[in-house]
Amino acid sequence: MIERLYQVFATPRPSVVDFCDHCVKPEDVAPFTTVPLRQLTSDQVEKFWLKSGTIGDETFVRYLIPRVLDLIAAGELDPDFFWLRLVSEAYANGDPREQSAVRGYFMATPIALAGLVREGPADGPLASWMRGPEALAALEEAALTGPDPGGVLSEAHQELEAQLSK
C-alpha cells in the first residue's frame, strides 16, 4: 500500500525548492533537494509543516505526499488537519490511479482513516468517499479486531456512523 503511493505519486526529487528566505533557513530546505524521499525524517518533513506557505509549491507537495503518508502509517507524524488537507487536495486533483492509491492507504491504515474522520476536511471528494460504507466497515473491523490505543478507532467509527445517520 505504501509502495503503491510512492509509485503513483512518483515525482523526481526537486533540484530546487522555492522558499521565503526571510522565513526559512536554507539548511531547513536543503534535505528536500539532497536526501532521497524515503529517507526524509519526520523532523525534516515537519519543517515544511512549520513553514507551510513559505516552502515549495503544488508540485513539491505532490512529491512529499507518499512520504507524509508513510510517516503517518509508521506513527512518526500525526494524522492532523494540515497533512490531511494536503492529502485531500492531492486526492481532489489526482487521477484515478492516485485516488485509488489514497483510498487503499486509508483502508489499510485505520489510524490515518480515524484521523481523516476526526480532523480531515469536511467537504471534497475524499471526504465524500470517507462517508461511504467502505470506510465505516474498515473502521469497525479495525476497532473490533486490532489494538485500539485510547479508543481512537472506536470513537472515529462512532463519529462516522453518526455522520452517516444524519
CA pair distance 105, 28, nearest whole angstrom: 28
Contact status, residue 45 vs residue 84, Cβ threshold 8 Å: no
Domain that residue 31 falls in: 2-164
pLDDT tens profile 1-43: 899 999 999 988 877 676 667 677 777 777 888 999 999 999 8
For the chain, how long is the longest CA-to-CA vector? 50
Q: Give the number of domains in the chain.
A: 1
Instruction: Sort 28 into a burial class: Cβ within 10 Å, 0-12 / 13-18 / 19+.
Output: middle
User: Which is nearest to 67 in space by CA: 50, 92, 43?
Assistant: 43
CA distance linking residue 96 with residue 9, whole number of Å: 12
Q: What angle do CA 47, 101, 99 make, to 5 degrees?
A: 90
36-91 per-position pLDDT tens digit: 999 999 988 887 665 555 556 778 888 899 999 999 999 999 888 888 888 999 99
For the segment 143-163, the average pLDDT, to the nearest whole number, is 87
Q: What is the rounded average pLDDT for all residues in the chain?
A: 86
pLDDT (tens digit, 9 = 90+) per residue, 129-142? 998 899 999 999 99
| Helix 96-108 vs helix 133-145: crossing angle, to nearest 10 | 30
